[in-house]
Amino acid sequence: MSDTNAKITEEIRAKARELLSSGEIAAFLGFTSGSLPMTTRPFVAKRPGDADKLIWNSFCVMNLANYLPALLESLEPPRGPKDPPPAGPLPKVGVVATGCCSRNIVVQMQERQVDRSRLVILGVSSRGMVDRKKVMAAAEGREPLKVEEGGHTLKVSGRDYELEIDRWSAVRDNCLTCAHNNPVISDYLIGPVSNRDVKDRFAQIEAIEAMPANARWKWFTDEIASCIRCYACRNACPLCYCPTCFVDDSRPQWVGKSTEPADTALFHILRAFHCAGRCTDCGACESACPMGIKMRLFTRKLSKDAFNLFGAEAGLDPQAQPPLATYRPDDPEEFLIVEEKK
């Protein structure tokens, strides 16, 4: 583990222990190590002693905001559907948040899914999380048994090989084009502040836009061809909190249950469209995908359009309205068919 990560881990543990033992928070949401190399799990610490299980490294790819609404609700005293909300302050939750995770918390605040006064946010600047699949590809099919993080390198070792790769070459695609590494809201800041800057944040999308329509259709169908419709991307997404998802609707059944190409295409189109103007490009969907589908490019295109057409960027201002919940009289409408009065 690199020095920075060790230091951040120590600080997160100390803060979580302090907040839990003082009784300020009832639970702390962070990461703990997973069972395989290069994996981490979301972890809820409820006792000060649990704080030692928290960790911080370059493999914290899941978005913790995803677990917040349910965790907050689970801490409320039980009540019936018609009972009034309990009087007095409700238990608080501490959470570790990088740039994208904090932006997702802001989106949840805009959409009234979480109450800011019940959160204690430990902001951590993201150095860019590492894509497991990229490291696996660099190991050329050999199983990595141990991955050690240096300052700018990753030491991968397996049964009969050892490999040192440049950390930045294995960083996730969304982190490579991230413009908000630093948390937008936090109560405490932990670790060094990042001053990384990106120029072409939408370069990946522009490359696809430049292709002819048939090539784009081929790219889209090839990309989703391997989809097994496990909905891991939806489940990992902090934007997806509808009690009944459109994929589970049966009357009308918007999306069939099969892996028939049209059903899969519709699932991916609608899933991405539901994230339009709300997606913070945290990359949790791609990291969760067992088939390596780059579905982030779909949501990224919508983020690009929301930014260019409506000047909206998700999760920066808790007071702002989500772009699709509002309008301006002069919104672009060149795409409309207009017939002049004769």
Task: Compute the least distance from the CB of residue 108 to another protein, in Å.
Answer: 21
Q: Does 240 bind another protein (CB under 8 A)?
A: no
Quote the CA–CA distance of 266 and 245 in Å, as a whole number: 14
Of 179, 150, 185, the closest CA to residue 164 belongs to 150
Neighbours of 220 (CB within 10 A): 16
**What is the dihedral sign for C-alpha 69, 71, 76, 81?**
positive
Give Cα separations from 200 to 90, 118, 299, 304 (angstroms).
43, 37, 17, 11
Q: Which segment (57-65, 83-91, 194-202, 210-218) binds another protein by CB under 8 A? A: 210-218
Q: Which segment (60-68, 97-105, 190-198, 329-337) binds another protein by CB under 8 A? A: 329-337
Of 58, 225, 219, the closest CA to residue 152 belongs to 58
Contacts of 258 (CB under 8 A, 6+ apart): none
What angle (nearest 5°) sits at the alpha carbon of residue 294, between those of residues 42 and 157?
60
Range 250-269, binding another protein (CB under 8 A) = 252-254, 256, 260, 262-263, 265-266, 269
Length of the chain: 342
Question: 3-state DSSP call for residue 196?
Answer: coil
Neighbours of 39 (CB within 10 A): 14
Q: Does 310 bind another protein (CB under 8 A)?
A: yes
Q: How many chain residues interact with another protein (CB under 8 A)?
A: 51
Q: Does 31 bind another protein (CB under 8 A)?
A: no
Q: Does 270 bind another protein (CB under 8 A)?
A: yes
Q: Which segment (104-112, 155-163, 194-202, 246-254) binds another protein by CB under 8 A? A: 246-254
Task: Compute the least distance from the CB of residue 327 to another protein, in Å.
Answer: 4
Binds another protein by CB under 8 A, chosen from 19, 60, 96, 272: 272
Q: Does 46 bind another protein (CB under 8 A)?
A: no
Q: Which two tokens stand for residue 16?
A: 């979580």
Q: Does 222 bind another protein (CB under 8 A)?
A: no
Radius of gyration for the chain, computed over Cα atoms and rounded to the nearest angstrom: 21
Range 180-209, binding another protein (CB under 8 A) = 205, 208-209
Q: Which segment (21-29, 163-171, 234-242, 320-328) binds another protein by CB under 8 A? A: 320-328
Q: In this structure, are residues 120 and 19 in contact, taking their beta carbons and an 8 Å threshold?
A: yes
Q: Does 320 bind another protein (CB under 8 A)?
A: no
Question: 3-state DSSP call for residue 109?
Answer: helix
> Which CB sits closer to another protein, 16 or 237?
237
Range 58-117, binding another protein (CB under 8 A) = none
> Which amino acid is residue 192, in one-letter code?
P
Q: Does 337 bind another protein (CB under 8 A)?
A: yes
> Which amino acid is residue 113, in one-letter code?
Q
Binds another protein by CB under 8 A, chosen from 86, 150, 216, 226: 216
Task: Compute the least distance from the CB of residue 4 to another protein, in Å.
Answer: 38
> Which amino acid is residue 297, in one-letter code?
L
Point out which residues bind another protein (CB under 8 A).
205, 208-209, 213-220, 246, 252-254, 256, 260, 262-263, 265-266, 269-270, 272-273, 276-277, 298, 301-302, 305-306, 309-310, 323-327, 329, 331-333, 335-342
